[in-house]
Amino acid sequence: MNTLEKRLLNDFQRDLPPSPTPFAVMAEELGVTEEDVIGGLRTLTERGVVSRVGPVFRPQRCGASSLVAMTVPETRLEAVAELINAFPEVNHNYEREHRFNLWFVITADTEEHLQALLQHIEQQTGLATLPLPMLTEYHIDLGFPLQWD
């Protein structure tokens, strides 16, 4: 990983510039061109180091969201996870060691759209979803300084 890629990962974990041209602002801070920033982020995304670049909105401030759990037969786990990951409304998806072994967060512009998405997932998989909407909001800062060898 080159120096620019490391700085993009480390320096912009939070507080992306609220600007119509955030990559230009990032480039100025890093002393590179906007094209360098966009190319670096594209490379990190293509290599699977970064899955998404964009804002994180506080839940339920714009639209609807829910944590969702599913019980998926082990033999179908990978296929069902891929199907769920294909939805752009799914933020992340992970396996847990539990009867409910597949968990994901889904967001939509309205509660009706969210319910329609869950119904669609159930129809495509033949499996039930267990929506677990947030009742109490907690902020957990997932940013941390990266260590490079």
Please check whether residues 26 and 84 belong to one and the same domain: no
- Please tell me the total count of domains within the chain: 2
pLDDT at 137 over 90: no
Longest dimension (CA), the chain: 52
Quote the pLDDT of residue 32.
Answer: 98
For the chain, percent of residues with pLDDT exceeding 90? 65
70 and 41 in a single domain? The answer is: no
Query: Which domain does 103 fall in, by range?
Result: 64-132
Place of tokens 């967060």: 105
Residue pair 59/137 in contact by the 8 Å Cβ criterion: yes
State residue 108 phi and psi, 5-degree precision. -150, 165
User: What average pLDDT score do residues 27-31 get?
Assistant: 96
- 124 and 71 in one domain? yes
Does 42 share its domain with 91?
no
Q: The domain spanning residue 69 has which CATH number?
A: 3.30.70.3460
Do 79 and 126 lie in one domain? The reply is yes
**Residue 139 resides in a domain:** no
Stated pTM of the model = 0.63
In a domain, 54, yes or no: no
